[in-house]
Amino acid sequence: MMEVEVSMRMVEFKGTLARDGQIALPPEIAQQVPSGEPLQVVLQWDFTSDEDLAWRTSGRRQFEAAYAPEDSVYEQLIDDAATR
């Protein structure tokens, strides 16, 4: 069985859609992407709605409620691995 390695880079930024349908990349991001590179684009808008904010806040509360002090051992393992 052949193994396939997938390497994906991702960047997030906020912008606006111009009247001509163009989305401008910030210069610091444009420098990172080779010209002619295939891209996968995901558009998200109206992300400041009250409903979206409520869902995000609720999700974060649920996540933080499930986080116990004992879980910090995993963060320490990650930090320790970086110094090896």
Residue 44 placed within a domain: yes
pLDDT exceeds 70 at position 6: no
Print the domain residue range for 52: 40-82
Who contacts 9 (Cβ-Cβ below 8 Å, separation ≥6)? 32
Residue 78 placed within a domain: yes
Residue 71 placed within a domain: yes
For the stretch 21-46, pLDDT in tens is 999 889 998 898 888 988 888 888 77
Residue 29 placed within a domain: no
pLDDT exceeds 80 at position 19: yes
The pLDDT of residue 69 is 76
Domain count, the chain: 1
Residue 33 placed within a domain: no
For the stretch 35-82, pLDDT in tens is 898 888 888 877 666 777 788 888 888 888 887 777 777 777 777 765
Who contacts 24 (Cβ-Cβ below 8 Å, separation ≥6)? 15, 18
